[in-house]
Structure 1
Amino acid sequence: MLVRPARELLGFVGARHRGGPVRVPHDGTAVLGHLVQSTGVPLTEVGELLLDGVPAETGDRPSDGGVVDVAPVRYPERIRNRFVLDVHLGKLARRMRLLGIDTAYRNDATDEELLERAARQRRVLLTRDRGLLRRRALPEGAYVYASDPARQQTEVLARFEPTPRPWTRCVSCNGQLVEVPKAEIAARLEPGTRRCYDEFARCVACGGIYWPGAHSPRLRAIVESALRRAARDDHLVEGPGSVQG
């Protein structure tokens, strides 16, 4: 069986196979999805499959000797707007929470905990761990191609098109922010903050306090960029980038 991943997916396969198709041993019992994943390409990154030029499904059982063409997933991919991120994506998690996107993250979560949370809370797992995406216990996931947090944010927004709701989530814990009377939290404020600001929000989960003056120019730039993207009626749909080998 020959498997021919698209150019965008070649970074997932072994270096010696990147110049051509991958020959995969096949005993006639494996389904197409298993054969594709055996090349190193996670099914989360797979779009259309062609078996000998004919559209096929991951659950099909092909006969030996065929040729499988593997296309990358197409953007936008609207599956869910709730996410859980692996331990290496902490900066992206804060950016997503800043935009009001439901983003679960712990910097000490194990792979098993990530998989369990993704399944139990019906979240898309975002990771740069290729092996994690090939785990059978994972219901939905996506590889994050970019290494820079700003580009990672752009990538996630392009792939899933979540609706930004800036300043509605705690960047520390992902809890919802609700308005709170100044009098209720005045004792927790620094004198300058108490004197200069009257509008405040509090995280319902961890109790963190937020106010407009806490929004630095850098944070505002992140939010404004995301809102401009969401507002574009005819935006550029980006596909996956190259995988770092």
Structure 2
Amino acid sequence: MISFHLLVNSNIEYWFNGSPSIKDAIEANGIPHTEVNEIIVNGAPVDFSYTLRRNDRADVFPVVNIASLSTDSVIPPLPNPVSFIADVHLGKLARELRMLGIDTFYENNWNDQQVADIAQRENCVVLTRDIGLLKHKKIKWGYWLRSQLIQEQLSEVIGRYNLAESIHPFKRCIDCNGIIEPVEKENILLQLPPKTKEYFNEFYQCKGCGKVYWKGSHYENMLKKIKTYYTD
């Protein structure tokens, strides 16, 4: 018998042949390993490698917040600072996270294998709406976004990973994730529209792709939105 203490408590009788691991049993019931905090079998904590035996009683507890992981959590400690990789369907979320200064890998042509490979190489958290992707063995950390609405998704990620104090707006390029730094106006004159040259003197440039930023009419609106996620 396996009990899943996830969105609602549920008890499932899991029938098996051979010697499956507890990880296999959990994922066979639709729960990716990245969503599991702690596993208790017959009253004792175990990790994902535990081999199920007849008449085992397993309790599976979810991750609610990274700060509240149990001492026996099966999730390895997150790197500090944490970085993310968003799957191909989360381009808007990736841009929003980058706008907040949060390191977020994203390309709109990456397949699942590429996402898993990059997540492993860069030690980052996978963000996705695809539960199947989170079952990939290369992925250590990941989160299945509950909402399909961008602002709710952003709130989910900030809350789950305690990112409020890690927000540094306009430090990363929303297009390529590169670092943005101040740049002298005369060095980027050829990239500026005529009216921008006339009315603005403070500019920033991405070290990665070279995109130029300035505090135009959209800047105040972006600031208002950002301040809903943190307080200076």
With normalisation by structure 2, the TM-score equals: 0.87
1:77-106: CA deviation from partner (whole Å, max 9, x where unpaired) = 571411110011111101000001010111
Q: Which structure carries more relative contact order (alpha carbon 8 Å, separation 6+)?
A: 1
Structure 1 contact 94–172 (Cα < 8 Å) conserved: yes
What are structure 2's unaligned runs of at least 5 residues?
68-76
1:79 and 2:82 are equivalent in the alignment:
no
Give the direction of change, closer, same or farther, for the CA distance of 1:181–1:9 in structure 2 (3 Å limit). Answer: farther
Secondary structure at the aligned position of 2:201 is classed as coil
For residue 41 of structure 1, the aligned residue among 31, 42, 48 is 31
What are structure 1's unaligned runs of at least 5 residues?
11-19, 232-245
Secondary structure at the aligned position of 1:94 is classed as helix
Task: Return the offset for 1:30.
Answer: 2.1
Structure 1 contact 37–134 (Cα < 8 Å) conserved: yes
1:197-244: CA deviation from partner (whole Å, max 9, x where unpaired) = 11100111111100112544442123212222xx6xxxxxxxxxxxxx
Distance in 2 (alpha carbons) for counterparts of 1:92 and 1:170? 14
Secondary structure at the aligned position of 1:213 is classed as coil
Give the direction of change, closer, same or farther, for the CA distance of 1:170–1:9 in structure 2 (3 Å limit). Answer: farther
Secondary structure at the aligned position of 2:188 is classed as helix
Structure 1 contact 115–137 (Cα < 8 Å) conserved: yes
**Range with bigger deviation, 147-156 or 21-30:** 21-30
**Range with bigger deviation, 218-227 or 194-203:** 218-227
- AA in 2 matched with 1:187: L
Aligned to 2:53: 63
Matched residue pairs, number?
219
Secondary structure at the aligned position of 1:125 is classed as strand
- AA in 2 matched with 1:120: R
Task: Return the offset for 1:107.
Answer: 1.1
1:165 and 2:168 are equivalent in the alignment:
yes
Distance in 2 (alpha carbons) for counterparts of 1:181 and 1:118? 36
1:25 and 2:15 are equivalent in the alignment:
yes
- AA in 2 matched with 1:122: N
Structure 1 contact 97–171 (Cα < 8 Å) conserved: yes
